[in-house]
């Protein structure tokens, strides 16, 4: 099973971006998406941005992942 997580682009240097996921920063290759810019939300998988998504989609997915985590930690 593959899992991608929503992330927000905080900076771009060439074809690489620094992205934020829950306050943690990661590097992400931008090779698979077009016209990425700071502030965009992406799906991050194995170090690559695989798709741009809306802020609403990102928030909803992060909410669901938090609910799963909270349930598992009870």
What pLDDT shows up at residue 51? 96
What pLDDT shows up at residue 22? 84
Tens of pLDDT, residues 7-30? 999 999 999 999 999 889 999 999
**5-72, which class in CATH?**
mainly beta
Measured CA to CA, the distance from residue 45 to residue 40 in angstroms comes to 16
Tens of pLDDT, residues 22-74? 889 999 999 999 999 999 999 999 999 999 999 999 999 999 989 999 999 88
Q: Is 52 exposed, middle or buried (0-12, 13-18, 19+ CB in 10 A)?
A: middle
Task: Determine if the pTM surpasses 0.85.
Answer: yes
Run of H or E residues at 62 = helix 55-72
Query: 2: pLDDT confidence band, cut at 50, 70 and 90?
Result: confident
Beta bridge partners, 29, equal 16, 48
């Amino acid at each position: 099973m593959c899992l991608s997580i929503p992330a927000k682009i905080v900076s771009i240097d060439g074809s690489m971006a620094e992205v934020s996921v829950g306050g943690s920063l990661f590097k992400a290759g931008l090779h698979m998406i077009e016209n990425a810019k700071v502030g965009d939300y992406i799906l991050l998988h194995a170090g690559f941005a695989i798709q741009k998504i809306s802020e609403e989609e990102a928030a909803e997915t992060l909410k669901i992942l938090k609910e799963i985590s909270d349930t598992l930690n009870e």
